[in-house]
Every structure is written in C-alpha cells, then in structure tokens.
Amino acid sequence: MSNSNDKSETPKASDTNRRAFLQTSTLAGTGMLLSGMTPAFGSTNEGTQMTIQSKGYAAVDESGVLVPWTFERRAVGENDILIDIKYASICHSDIHQEKGHWGEQIYPQVPGHEIVGIVAAVGANVTKFKVGDRAGVGCMVDGCTGDDCAHGGEQYSPGTVFTYGYPDERSPTGISQGGYSTNIVVRDHYAVHIPETISFEEAAPLLCAGVTTYSPLLKFELGPGVKVGVAGIGGLGHLAVKLAVSKGADVYAFTTTEAKREDILSWGAKEVILVDSNDAFGDYAGQLDCMISTIPYQYNVAGYASVVKPGGFFTQVGIPERSEVTVNALGLAASRVNFNASLIGNMQETQDVVNYCAENGVAPQIEIIPSEGINQAWEDVVNKNARYRYVIDAATF
Ligand SMILES: [Zn+2]
C-alpha cells in the first residue's frame, strides 16, 4: 500500500487552493487510515493485513429503520483502493433490499451504492488512482476486470460482488457493506474518476440512477425527433428525462404526481402526462419510438407499453418487490412492443455517464441531508415526496 501523493508537477497559481485542499485531504486520510487500522482477525488479504474501521448507518432488521453502526471493513488489498466518502445518495433499491423485498438479508447491513469521495490509500498494484484523487463507486465493488469480461458487462458476470449485502468472505462482517458510511474499500477497476467539473454531491446519483438510465437510453439511439417516454419520475426517472433531453430527443414524461409537472417541464420535457387512470394512455397509443420505465412497484406495464409504436423498445429498469412485474400478455401482444429489462450498466458506461454529465451540464436535482435525516428521507422516497435525490453528507456519520 502506498500513501504517497504525486507532487512532482509544477503547481499553477490557480491550482493553489485545490492543491492545498488535496494535500490536506491526503494527510487527513492518512491520519484516519492509521487511527482506523486495527489488527485483522483471520484476514488472508495479499495486501495489508489491517482491516479498516468504518462508521455509518445500518439496517438491523426488515423494519426499514436504520441505526448508527461502527464496523470493520476488509483490508486494502494490492489491487484495491480506500475511499474517504464525502457523499452517498439514497436509491429506492436501498429501501427494497434492506426491507427484504428482494429476498432475505443478513444484518446489520449498510446500504448505499451511489458513493463519491477521495482516495485515501491505494494497493501496491494500483495505477488507475493515486491518493487524493476524486473517485466514485456504484453498484459493484469487485469481479471481472479489464477487457476480458466475456459476460457482456461486469454486472452480468458470475464473479461480481455487489456493493452491499453480498457474500464476501474477505469482509469481517461476511457481506459487502455499502456507502452510508465514512469510507469504503473497492477493487480499483470498480471505481470511476469524478471530473473536477462536477460537484461530488451532484456526481453521486450518477453512479446508479445515472448509469441505469444512461445505458438503455444509449441503446435507443436518441437524437432530435426521437420520441422517448419515461415512466416514473423519481430518482432514476428524473435523470432519464434530463439525459434524453440533453441528447436532443422529445421526452414524454409519465408521472402519477401532478405536483412534479412544473419541475419536469423545466428540465425540457416536451409533455408531462399525468397517469391518474388507464385512460391516460389512449391519446398516445403507438406514438412513441421507445420508453424506459423506472417504476419500482407493480403497475400496468401493458398500458404504459401501449404508447410505444409497434416494434419499438420498452425497457424496464425499476425492480419492484420480489423483483417481479406482472405483464398482461394480451395487452402487450396488442401493441407488439419489444419488452426487455436492463441491469445498471458496465464500468465503462459508468465512467461515460459521469463524464457526459460533467461535460454537458447534466446534473441531478438533489437535497443534501445529514445522517440523522436518513430514516425520514426513506419515508419520503416511499411516499413519492423526494425531489428528486437525497444525498447524505458523510461528514455527519
Ligand atoms: Zn440504485
């Protein structure tokens, strides 16, 4: 492991503040690292033998109530980096998983897979990052690396370790622990660079919500004149609207919340359709080229899909309870759409969406909260009162 920062470049005057910040941050990170290290118990990691102390908020049962928790993370291996977390945002998936909606869980479990911060330590083999770099982590922390992943993306590889609640024998708690916490250890390949031109707090939601919508939207080949529907305008959906608008497409936003109308129009959507009954779809039958659904509950899939023209794509990215959506086969058959589903995006797409948003000024609409606000924020997400992504300030853990 190396804590050295590259100070060989000549600082420009305009860089002085940033460099001072980086060096301070590096020192703080090192101090934290040293004070946070405790002797490992049973660690066989090839890098350091020291586990990392972390503090965050964990679910302890299926109640959906999180509590403060101090725990140990796995040691920083020779291909790993340690990130001092600055912000982590709240995804609906966090709530579904911790409440056991997708299957039985091991507790305590720290959720959070939209994570940004500063690299505090790097393993001996790491060249992708150095101490002081800005870094982000999404839904995966380890697995296939490089160009040899033959599974169509790291997220489809059998060896992938997802960011929280996933079995990981190197973790002192037996499972991966997520980003509602002060730090995280991640394989270097599974972290992305965060450009200076986007703030940490605005970058965080891109790591899951951003890439989950960006990946299928790219497959739609959006451009001027293409009519794309977005179903469900929450954390994912609002980014889908902004990304599709940025690509020049005509965006039709379908929401059940009338109070979101003005926000959605302000992002450049062409139309906002209030879905207050199944009649809402009639005027749009077969009109759109494609549609993405971010709805994480059971809903009228065939009704929404009926607005897509025959042969167009309808892609499901929201994952409801029991991971199921119920489809009316006749309804779907009658509109002859291509129904498919998509899981997050690969690591290249994750870096791409962060870069794209930084370069094109696409930013999520966020509300920053302290750790004490997490439980209320979860209730707001479930009750459709979030506008539109809660971002936790990790300094408050
Ligand atoms: Zn997510």
CA of 207 to the centre of ligand 1 (A): 8
Percent helix / strand / coil, the chain, rounded to 5: 35, 25, 40
- pLDDT score recorded for residue 156: 85
pLDDT band at 182 (very low <50, low <70, confident <90, very high): very high
What pLDDT, in 10s, does the model give residues 90-135?
999 999 999 999 999 999 999 999 999 999 999 999 999 999 999 9
- pLDDT score recorded for residue 149: 66
- pLDDT score recorded for residue 48: 52
CA of 42 to the centre of ligand 1 (A): 32
Q: Compute the distance between CA of residue 72 and CA of residue 176 in angstroms, rounded to an integer.
A: 11
Q: CATH homologous superfamily of domain 7-207+365-396?
A: Medium-chain alcohol dehydrogenases, catalytic domain (3.90.180.10)
* % of the chain at pLDDT higher than 90: 76
Closest Cα partner for 247 from 209, 201, 284, 213? 213
Q: Which residues surround ligand 1, an ion (CB under 5 A)?
A: 91, 93, 208
First to last CA, the chain: 26
The answer, yes or no, to whether residue 25 has pLDDT greater than 50, is no
- pLDDT score recorded for residue 31: 36
Reading the block at residue 22, the tokens are: 């980086």
The answer, yes or no, to whether residue 283 has pLDDT greater than 90, is yes
Minimum mean pLDDT range among 73-87, 333-347, 357-371: 333-347
Task: Check if CATH label 3.40.50.720 holds for domain 209-341.
Answer: yes
CA of 352 to the centre of ligand 1 (A): 17
Burial of 213 per CB tally in 10 Å (0-12, 13-18, 19+): buried
The residues with which 301 forms a beta bridge, in sequence order, are none
Q: Compute the distance between CA of residue 172 and CA of residue 108 in angstroms, rounded to an integer.
A: 12
Helix (H) or strand (E) holding 193: strand 191-193
- pLDDT score recorded for residue 385: 93
Helix (H) or strand (E) holding 357: helix 347-360
CA of 139 to the centre of ligand 1 (A): 7
What pLDDT, in 10s, does the model give residues 38-97?
333 333 344 457 999 999 999 999 999 999 999 999 999 999 999 999 999 999 999 999
CA of 55 to the centre of ligand 1 (A): 21
Residue type, 78: E
Q: Compute the distance between CA of residue 161 and CA of residue 265 in angstroms, rounded to an integer.
A: 38
Higher-scoring residue by pLDDT: 6, 125: 125
- pLDDT score recorded for residue 5: 40
Q: What is the mean pLDDT of the chain?
A: 88
- pLDDT score recorded for residue 320: 84
CA of 5 to the centre of ligand 1 (A): 32
Helices and strands in the chain: count of H runs, count of E runs: 10, 18
Kindly list the domain boundaries of the chain, sorted by start residue: 7-207+365-396, 209-341
Minimum mean pLDDT range among 90-94, 148-152, 338-342, 347-351: 148-152
The model carries a pTM of 0.86
pLDDT band at 159 (very low <50, low <70, confident <90, very high): confident
Contact 357, 57 (CB under 8 A): no
CA dihedral 169, 172, 178, 181 (to 10 degrees): -160
The answer, yes or no, to whether residue 13 has pLDDT greater than 80, is no
Higher-scoring residue by pLDDT: 329, 95: 95
**186-198 burial by CB neighbour count: b if 16+ within 10 A, else e?**
bbbbbbbbbeeeb
